[in-house]
């Protein structure tokens, strides 16, 4: 049986998902939704997608659509995820699940009620570099003492990953910190019990803090230090240092080295080196197998509870 998919948001991230889905058997994107019709038609033509619309409701009305992937602005994620489930569709929503905790809680409550597969794009759980470390932790061969993480971008104007103007404002706390807060608890295999944050000045036009520092502690004693910036004019991206009892690992996207900068081969960890593809494979496998996916909305909700606490502190 082919899983028929509608994808919403034909921007930088939507295209990453379209490229990933091309590599997955038994899945077809049948509807593409995005704000600007001409641009959306152009992307749809390139990927051979028949149905194009600027309204998600049009895609949800298509009976043959089984599942929806949402790559839309953060502020729309929770409401759109709810709309998908109300229409009887499985849904994968890109990170973050929400930018208000109550919205995330509503998504989780509806998932429990409907039993549909609802997953959030916490890609770090799927990157082979982090999977390699996770497998060592699960086997009892490595225990985290500290994670030291830097999330650095240069975003003094409102641009997306393709260098195009954005219609919405990105957020260090609710988006970029969400990756690490979730990953830390997942890798430590222990809930976060303490969290502190400080932030730099608020940008006069973007209205957000451009620099932030977060400290986390898990119930098992592991700690995490996270530095975030939209002001960094240097190597861009997120760099993770795992300091453990039996070694040190540094993950830079899908590359992994030890503390001596010696490369670790992670090509055999999973069927692909592409975290987005692996994330999508998990979503479709969970639908076929009728099970809860890794990074289900219920599994990632504790991360948003921590972000909510941090937002209150910063306020």
End-to-end alpha carbon distance in the chain = 50
Residue 169 lies in a domain: yes
Whether 89 and 66 map to the same domain: the answer is yes
The set of residues, in sequence order, having a beta carbon less than 8 Å from that of 99 and lying 6+ positions away, is 74, 75, 77, 171, 174
Does residue 312 form part of some domain? no
How high is the pLDDT of residue 158?
62
Residues 6+ apart with CB under 8 A from 183: 122, 124, 125, 130, 147, 240
Helix axes 37-47, 12-21, angle to 10 degrees: 20
Which pLDDT does position 154 carry in this prediction?
86
Question: Does one domain contain both 176 and 151?
Answer: yes
How far is residue 252's CA from residue 185's CA, in Å, rounded to a whole number?
Answer: 19
Whether 227 maps to a domain, the answer reads yes
Residue 77 pLDDT = 97
Q: 55-112, pLDDT tens digit by residue? A: 999 999 999 999 999 999 999 999 999 999 999 999 999 999 999 999 999 999 999 9
- The verdict on residue 219 lying in a domain is yes
Q: What is the pLDDT of residue 206?
A: 82
Q: Report how far residue 108's alpha carbon sits from residue 46's, in angstroms, rounded to the nearest whole number.
A: 35
pLDDT for res 163: 65
User: Do residues 189 and 102 both lie within one domain?
Assistant: no
81 and 164 assigned to the same domain: no
Is 307 inside any structural domain?
no
Digit-coded pLDDT (tens) for 110-134: 999 999 999 999 999 999 999 999 9
Q: Is there a single domain that holds both residue 161 and residue 251?
A: yes
Contact 119, 112 (CB under 8 A): no
- Domain with 181 in it: what CATH number? 3.30.360.10
Q: Are 84 and 183 members of one domain?
A: no
- How many separate domains does the chain show? 2
Predicted local distance difference test score (pLDDT) of residue 254: 82
| pLDDT less than 70: residues of the chain | 157-169
Q: Which residue, chain included where needed, has tokens 């895609």?
A: 59
Same domain for 19 and 101, yes or no, is yes
What's residue 170's pLDDT?
74
The confidence score (pLDDT) of residue 164 equals 64
Do both 69 and 160 map to the same domain?
no
Structural domain includes residue 313: no
Helices (H), the chain: 12-21, 37-47, 56-60, 77-86, 101-114, 128-138, 177-188, 275-289, 297-314
Same-domain pairing of 169 and 139: yes
115: domain CATH number is 3.40.50.720
298 part of a folded domain? no
Strand 247-252 versus strand 255-258 pairing type:
antiparallel
Phi-psi region of 261 (alpha: psi -120 to 50; beta: other; left: phi over 0): left
| Domain match, 132 and 264 both | yes
CA distance 60 to 62: 5
Q: Are 150 and 95 part of one and the same domain? A: no
Long-range contacts at 230-236 (CB < 8 A, ≥ 24 apart)? 230/153, 230/154, 230/155, 230/156, 230/170, 230/172, 230/203, 231/154, 231/156, 232/152, 232/153, 232/154, 233/154, 234/152, 235/152, 236/152, 236/153, 236/154
| Residue 309 included in any domain | no
Residue 214's domain comprises 127-269
Residues 93 and 172 placed together within one structural domain of the fold? no
């Amino acid at each position: 049986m082919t899983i028929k998919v509608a994808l919403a948001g034909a921007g930088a991230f939507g295209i990453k998902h379209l490229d990933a889905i091309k590599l997955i058997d038994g899945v077809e994107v049948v509807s593409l939704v995005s704000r600007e019709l001409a641009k959306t038609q152009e992307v749809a033509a390139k990927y051979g997608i028949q149905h194009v619309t600027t309204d998600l409701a049009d895609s949800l009305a298509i009976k043959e659509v089984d599942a929806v992937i949402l790559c839309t602005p953060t502020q729309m994620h929770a409401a759109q995820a709810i709309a998908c489930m109300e229409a009887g569709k499985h849904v994968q929503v890109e990170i973050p699940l929400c930018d208000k905790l109550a919205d995330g809680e509503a998504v989780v409550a509806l998932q429990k009620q409907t039993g549909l597969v609802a997953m959030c794009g916490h890609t770090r759980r799927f990157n082979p570099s982090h999977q390699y470390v996770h497998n060592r932790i699960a086997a009892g061969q490595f225990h985290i003492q500290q994670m030291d993480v830097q999330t650095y971008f240069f975003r003094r104007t409102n641009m997306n990953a393709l260098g195009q103007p954005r219609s919405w404002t990105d957020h260090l706390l609710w988006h970029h910190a969400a990756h690490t807060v979730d990953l830390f608890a997942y890798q430590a295999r222990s809930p976060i019990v303490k969290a502190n944050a400080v932030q730099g000045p608020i940008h006069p036009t973007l209205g957000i803090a451009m620099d932030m520092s977060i400290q986390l502690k898990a119930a098992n004693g592991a700690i995490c230090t996270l530095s975030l910036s939209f002001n960094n004019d240097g190597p861009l991206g997120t760099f993770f240092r795992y300091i453990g009892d039996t070694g040190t690992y540094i993950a830079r996207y899908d590359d992994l080295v030890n503390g001596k900068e010696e490369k670790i081969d992670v090509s055999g960890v999973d069927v692909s080196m592409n975290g987005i593809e692996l994330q999508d494979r998990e979503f479709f496998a969970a639908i076929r197998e009728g099970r809860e996916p890794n990074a289900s909305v219920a599994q990632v909700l504790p991360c948003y509870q921590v972000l909510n606490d941090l937002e209150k502190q910063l306020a």
